[in-house]
A and B are shown apart, each in its own frame.
Chain A
């Protein structure tokens, strides 16, 4: 808008964000490494590595495998645990002037609840509840597949959680719109979707799966069209805001997700290739708005 300024800010469940671009959990650590490369406070937000109640070393064997236009990972939620996060990372992470999103995963309901209560009094903006990590055994995934199981987890977590609560959905859900609605009914303030897609690779010479867990999570441009479709369906089916995730690597991708109904977007895999790609997405989106004379993202959100 020649002369006029574009407004990139968005409101996600009452959290005011400078712009809609967030770094996805598990792809930016706690922001420290990236802060050495660019000003992370220019981001709309930053989602922490997925925490679990207890520290985890993650999976052994191959952890990453490239596919045409994507990667599969089997990191297995390696993380310092909720207490480790509070001791070692919170001072830094909590002081960032950007939306601070703490991602929490779990293997059982009690772990989630205990994790939430440990985090309850701390200063950050959104608790992102990961009910969808494909890389931990003991059912981490199951929470995100069946609507009624997800409903129960969200209800119980909502009962104790004092932060804004965004539920991170699995694309492997049996019925993602129905599951999203259940989350909304149980009091989720927002939704993040999608996580990685359950996938597989075979080492034909060893005649074995590449990954020790057989299956791993697919991310990157390969999943973008499917995630986009899911975001479109879910955004139309609920009234809480959605963070669109899946293969976003350019500002055009981000704008697609916003037009499909996302309030904000998260960038994951693309950061591995270009650490400051999120800044390109922010700048590109702003330039596009100027060129198209869009004053606020609300004008295009969910326009299709």
Chain B
């Protein structure tokens, strides 16, 4: 059934740590910061495709950072250069274009969408001060890469990355990570009066708005994370 779906060729699939992998595929695209793809590298089963954020993109290639957690991501981890993966098209909204003093805060594999975001924001306005806060549970990955796109990279292994940031130093904070982490960050940002955008995660079946699996309650009513999100102003979702 998926034979006619759009297939992309795997260029590389590197193991970065025990369970983090970085996969680059050849795929013409216009993917933007914060967007995701529904990927599959198998035929019929497992049935559903898996949502992965765009870690990096240029017009010809896409890169995904993923953590092996279950059968789908395990299958991704077995891909080698030359194998195919079905990508489809870029889905969801994007992080907002912000300038001034900006912090990007990632928890675990939630750091994935922040790389392209940092790169994009810097490209749009070189005067933007862009700091990255990356939290890991057991091993830090890609810090060198993030240093190339941010002015400062703060990492934390095993603690709470939210303890390391003072939101009053920033005009904008953008985040992706476990919901509890993002909520804690919202608490701090609210106190400091700093605007926070969060990238939400929900189980998804379709990824393009028809199944309603990814419902998220917001101050503007029930929204679909896959098309109305994944990025939301924090005050809309943490009510």
- Which chain A residues in 53-71 approach chain B with CB under 8 Å? 57-58, 60, 62-66, 68-71
Q: A69-B44, A69-B47, A277-B1 are in contact. List 4 more A-B contacts (CB 8 A).
A: A64-B205, A78-B222, A221-B47, A275-B206
Contacts of B217 in A (CB 8 A): 57, 60
Stretch at the interface among A4-12, A14-22, A266-274: A266-274
**Interface size counted on chain B using CB atoms at 8 A:** 28
Q: Verify if B14 is at the interface (C-beta below 8 Å from A).
A: no
Contacts of A272 in B (CB 8 A): 48, 205-207, 210-211
Contacts of A66 in B (CB 8 A): 46-48
Is B48 within 8 A of A27, CB to CB? no
Is A271 within 8 A of B48, CB to CB? no
Is A34 within 8 A of B47, CB to CB? no
Q: Verify if B215 is at the interface (C-beta below 8 Å from A).
A: yes
Question: CA of A272 to CA of B213 in the docked complex: distance in angstroms?
Answer: 11
Minimum Cβ distance to chain A for residue B141 (Å): 27
Count of inter-chain pairs, beta carbons less than 8 A? 87
Contacts of B210 in A (CB 8 A): 27-29, 33-34, 271-272
Question: CA of A73 to CA of B210 in the docked complex: distance in angstroms?
Answer: 13
The 8 A CB mask of B162-177 against A (1 = contact, 0 = none) is: 0000000000000000
Q: Verify if A133 is at the interface (C-beta below 8 Å from B).
A: no
Known: A69-B47, A70-B47, A71-B48. A274 touches B2 (CB 8 A): yes
Is A75 within 8 A of B213, CB to CB? yes
Contact sample, A vs B, 8 pairs, CB 8 Å cutoff: A63-B212, A63-B213, A64-B203, A64-B211, A75-B213, A220-B47, A221-B44, A249-B44
Known: A27-B211, A78-B222. A71 touches B4 (CB 8 A): no
Question: CA of A69 to CA of B212 in the docked complex: distance in angstroms?
Answer: 20
Is A249 within 8 A of B1, CB to CB? yes
Q: How large is the interface on A (under 10, 10 to 19, 20 to 34, 35 or more residues)?
A: 35 or more
Q: Verify if B22 is at the interface (C-beta below 8 Å from A).
A: no
Question: CA of A250 to CA of B211 in the docked complex: distance in angstroms?
Answer: 20
Question: CA of A27 to CA of B213 in the docked complex: distance in angstroms?
Answer: 10
Contacts of B214 in A (CB 8 A): 63
Interface of A is mostly: loop
- Which chain A residues in 1-47 approach chain B with CB under 8 Å? 26-29, 33-34, 37
Minimum Cβ distance to chain A for residue B27 (Å): 17
**Chain A residue with minimal CB distance to B204?**
A64
- Which chain B residues in 175-210 approach chain A with CB under 8 Å? 203-210
Q: Verify if A280 is at the interface (C-beta below 8 Å from B).
A: yes
**Interface residue from B46, B209, B215 paired with A58 (Cβ < 8 Å):** B215
Q: Verify if B11 is at the interface (C-beta below 8 Å from A).
A: no
Minimum Cβ distance to chain B for residue A32 (Å): 8
Q: Verify if B5 is at the interface (C-beta below 8 Å from A).
A: yes
- Which chain B residues in 27-52 approach chain A with CB under 8 Å? 40, 44-49
Contacts of B222 in A (CB 8 A): 57-58, 78
Known: A274-B2, A275-B208. A269 touches B213 (CB 8 A): no
Q: Verify if B227 is at the interface (C-beta below 8 Å from A).
A: yes
Is A63 within 8 A of B203, CB to CB? yes
Question: CA of A122 to CA of B204 in the docked complex: distance in angstroms?
Answer: 33
Minimum Cβ distance to chain B for residue A160 (Å): 29
The 8 A CB mask of A65-100 against B (1 = contact, 0 = none) is: 110111101010010000000000000000000000
Is B213 within 8 A of A273, CB to CB? no
Is B227 within 8 A of A33, CB to CB? yes
- The interface centre, meaning the residue of A66, A69, A220, A273 with most chain B CB atoms within 10 A of its CB, is A273
**In the A-B complex, the 8 residue pairs with the closest CB atoms:** A64-B213, A272-B206, A33-B209, A272-B205, A29-B210, A63-B213, A57-B222, A75-B212
**Interface residue from B203, B204, B207, B227 paired with A62 (Cβ < 8 Å):** B203
- Which chain A residues in 213-228 approach chain B with CB under 8 Å? 220-221
Minimum Cβ distance to chain A for residue B73 (Å): 13
Known: A33-B208, A272-B205, A273-B2. A78 touches B45 (CB 8 A): no
Question: CA of A28 to CA of B212 in the docked complex: distance in angstroms?
Answer: 10
The 8 A CB mask of B1-14 against A (1 = contact, 0 = none) is: 11011000000000
Minimum Cβ distance to chain A for residue B75 (Å): 13
Contacts of A65 in B (CB 8 A): 203
Contacts of B215 in A (CB 8 A): 57-58, 63, 75, 78
Minimum Cβ distance to chain B for residue A47 (Å): 12
Question: CA of A37 to CA of B210 in the docked complex: distance in angstroms?
Answer: 12
**Chain B residue with minimal CB distance to A276?**
B4
